Amino acid sequence: MPTATPDQDRLLQTSRAWAKVLGSRNVEKIVSFWSEDAIVMPPDQPALVGKSAIRRYVTQSLATPGFSVTWDPELAVVSEGGDQGYLVEASRFTFPDTAGVLVTRYGKTVTVWRKTPEGEWQCVIDIWNGNPSQAVLPPG
């Protein structure tokens, strides 16, 4: 993979920082990475539109015993103007199955980002689904 541009590197760093914030379980810090008008599209569920709906979803998810999620960005693309970008990410979700046994599932995630006037990246669209392996993109 070619060397990341400064904008791509900043976007990758933002995604990695967000994944680390998940470990804090601090809902407000987690939600701060989404824009006010963000849309989150979990698999097999209705879309969540706006921070209030996303905040409720995050709060419910974190209240689930054993729930955790993390991800690793595999590809960053930034527009020529440097104000929009997207990431392809490999995600891992751990949650209790119907018997209460913790299971881990791999996922493929695409996030779309917009740079604020202050130069910060915010996620505007977040969508994921299942993946049969830990990596999303083929090696090489």
Instruction: Express each pLDDT in 58-114 by its tens digit.
Output: 999 999 999 999 999 999 999 999 999 999 999 999 999 999 999 999 999 999 999
35 domain residue, yes or no: yes
140 domain residue, yes or no: no
In this prediction, residue 14 has a pLDDT band, given cuts at 50, 70 and 90, of very high
The count of structural domains within the chain is 1
CATH number at residue 119: 3.10.450.50
Task: Quote the CA–CA distance of 85 and 123 in Å, as a whole number.
Answer: 9
Per cent of the chain over pLDDT 70 is 98
Residue 75 and residue 93 in contact, taking contact as beta carbons nearer than 8 Å: no
139 domain residue, yes or no: no
In this prediction, residue 42 has a pLDDT band, given cuts at 50, 70 and 90, of very high
pTM across the whole model: 0.92
136 domain residue, yes or no: no
Note down the domain range covering 13: 6-130
